[in-house]
Amino acid sequence: MITVHELPEKVQRWVSHAVGGGAQVAAATGLRQGANPWLLTFEPGGRVDAAVLRLGDPTDPDHRQRFATEVAALQVAGEQQVPAARLIATDLDGSAAGVLAVLTTVLPGHSRIPSVASTERLQGLGATAAALQAVPLAPRTALPRRTRSIEDVDFAAQRRKKGTTPLLTAAEQRLERLPAPTGPTVFVHGDLWFGNTLWSGDHCTGLVDWDCAGAGSPGIDLSGARFDAALMFGLPAAEQVLKGWQRATGRRAEQLAYWDVVAALGTLADMAFCVPALHDQGRTDLDADLLGQRRDAFLTTALSRLDADDQ
C-alpha cells in the first residue's frame, strides 16, 4: 500500500471528480507486484466504495495503444455481458489526469493461483474462454487482428538474441511450413492465464488486464488457457480446460494442435522470465526448471498431435 500523497494530486482530483459525491482517495494498494494498477478506497464511501485505477505514460505510444485497447475491450465486454469490470472514467491522452488513466469498478474474487486446481476450476477457465469466443468481432483500430497471445512481444526475436532450444526451433520451423488457420474472428482476451482471472471459490468472477485484446481465432485464448493450466498444474490440467470449453460451446475445438504450438512458443528458452509474476500470484513453488519441463511436455504433445493431424 502507498500513501495517498504518492499518487499525483492531479490524478487524485480526476478520480474524485469521476467518482463524485465528494469522495476522496483514502488508500491505494498495488495489485501487480505491489504497484500499478491500484485498488483505491474512498472516504467517505458512497456511490463508489472502491475502484481500480490503471495509470500510464501519455508520451509512450505503446502505453497509448494498450490503454485504447483496454478501454475498447471493456466496452465490448460490457455490451456482451462478458465477465469484466465496468468503466467509470477514462483519460486516454492525459489531458485531464496528467497521465493516461482508466478507472473501473472492482470485481469480487481474487487472482491468487492455488497449488492444486479442482476440475471445476480448470473447466471453468475453459468455459470463460468459450464466453469470449461467443462474441463475433471484426478487427478495428483499438482491437486489432491478433494471431497469438501477447502479440506485441516478439518472443521469437528474443529467443534469437538470448538463446533457444532444439525443441523450440523445431516448433518454429514446423509452423513456418503451415498456413495460418483462417475463419471468422471473435473477441479474444489475448493474455488468458490464471493470473488474469478472478475467482470466488471455483467460480470465475471476471477477467482483468485487457490490453492485449483484439479480434482473432478462438484457438488463441483456448490454447493460451490450456498452456497456462499445463504450466501451473501439469499436462492433464490442459485437457480439463478443453473439456470445459467444449461443454460450454457444444462443439469440438478446431486446429487445437496448431494453436497449442503457438501458445507454447510465447515463451523464452529460460522460463525464469515469468517466475516473478507467478510468485506474485502465490505460486512460489514454481521455478524456471519445472516450468521449462512442463512447457516442453506440452509442446512435444502438441507437435505430435500436429503430425498426426497431417496423416
Mean pLDDT by 10 residues, the chain (311 residues): 70 94 90 86 82 96 97 97 96 97 96 97 97 96 97 96 98 94 95 97 96 97 98 98 97 96 98 96 98 98 90 54
Confidence (pLDDT) at 48: 82
What's the grid cell of residue 105? 469498478
Confidence (pLDDT) at 4: 56
* Burial 165-180, CB ≥16 within 10 A → b, else e: beebeebbebbeeeee
Confidence (pLDDT) at 21: 86
Confidence (pLDDT) at 140: 97
- The answer to whether 209 touches 73, Cβ cutoff 8 Å, is no
Confidence (pLDDT) at 5: 54
CB-count exposure of residue 245 (10 Å: 0-12, 13-18, 19+): buried
Q: Is the dihedral of CA 139, 73, 133, 228 positive or negative?
A: positive
